[in-house]
Amino acid sequence: MKFYIVIPAHNEETHINATLTSVVQQTKLPAKVVVVNDNSSDGTEKIIDTFTENYSFFTKVNTNAPNEHLPGSKVINTFYKGFETLDDTYDVIVKLDADIILPENYFETICNHFLNDSEVGIAGGFCYIQKGTTWILENLTDKDHVRGALKAYRKQCFIDIGGLKKAMGWDTVDELLAQYYGWKIKTDTSLKTKHLKPTGATYNKKAMYRQGEAFYRLRYGFMITLISSLKLAFLKKRVSLFFDYIKGYWLAKNNKVDFLVTPAQGVFIRKYRRSKMLSKLKKPFSFKS
């Protein structure tokens, strides 16, 4: 399969060399890699230039987004600056962060998943973060979810969902919409990637409110937002985040912020989220005969 990669990068001189090196060491190489240098003030661009000079399938795009690091809109705007330079002859498009180290068989395995099942629309491995001398699973989401740091999309799935939303929650709504349109999400536990910069490390207070706003824009409704906020705050081990998320939800509701999905999609999403929650509640009460 022919796949393209877009890598947004902002002040990533500490990590990006390792990321790009792991890309060129793949057992299956991408047809094109676009690295988007987003207003970096460190040595990020110089490192990117080293790869564009040595590998013909690498290109660089410079852009100048606002400095404020808000999740969603900034990174996806940057992604599209690179995506817009590509032709449409790809089979798979990959959005990859600039602080990831991939195992050498990563893309070969991902492409095989797409080849072996025509219903797989999104695929990816798992992010691990360093704790002392060991690497542990960055356990912020369910194991049937592909992290936004390393998402691969089949072309038709990417088209069906309308691409990536330029908003907080883009890496949740993409999978929900993919399933709405009948696509499968494939996660592969054997693909263990190293995430060099933990998720949310540079988010500010406004970004915390944006998570609650994202729940509103996904048409979760208050009860699902309440449960999702509790879960996420628990996983991040910060009780204060729960109140930030709930405040963000009500701010969005009171300000009548635009939704990211249609009413029909919202019905599907709420039904799906409720079924997932119920299935987890049943697990402690299930016994093997």
Q: What CATH number corresponds to the domain at position 70?
A: 3.90.550.10
Query: How many domains is the chain built from?
Result: 2
* Residue 277 pLDDT level (bands cut at 50, 70, 90): confident
In a domain, 287, yes or no: no
Does the pLDDT at position 267 exceed 60? yes
For the chain, the residue count is 289
Per the CB < 8 A criterion, the answer to whether 96 and 191 are in contact is no
Give yes or no: residues 104 and 240 share one domain.
no
- Six-digit token pair at 160? 């069906």
b/e per residue 101-128 (b: at least 16 CB within 10 A): bbbeebbebbbebbeeeeebbbbbbbbb
Per the CB < 8 A criterion, the answer to whether 29 and 37 are in contact is no
* Residue 206 pLDDT level (bands cut at 50, 70, 90): low
Give the tens place of pLDDT for each residue, 12-26: 999 999 999 999 999
In a domain, 165, yes or no: yes
Question: Which of 177, 195, 213 is a domain's end point?
Answer: 195
In a domain, 288, yes or no: no
* Residue 115 pLDDT level (bands cut at 50, 70, 90): very high
In a domain, 68, yes or no: yes
Does the pLDDT at position 82 exceed 80? yes
Give yes or no: residues 61 and 80 share one domain.
yes
* Residue 64 pLDDT level (bands cut at 50, 70, 90): confident
Rounded Cα distance, 164 and 6, in Å: 13
| Domain carrying residue 79 | 3-195
Give yes or no: residues 163 and 116 share one domain.
yes
Q: Which residue has the higher pLDDT, 35 or 201?
A: 35
pLDDT at site 105: 98
Q: Which pTM was predicted? A: 0.89
Does the pLDDT at position 286 exceed 60? no
Average pLDDT of the chain?
90
In a domain, 266, yes or no: yes
b/e per residue 62-80 (b: at least 16 CB within 10 A): eeebeeebbbbbbbbbbbb
pLDDT at site 12: 96
pLDDT at site 76: 93
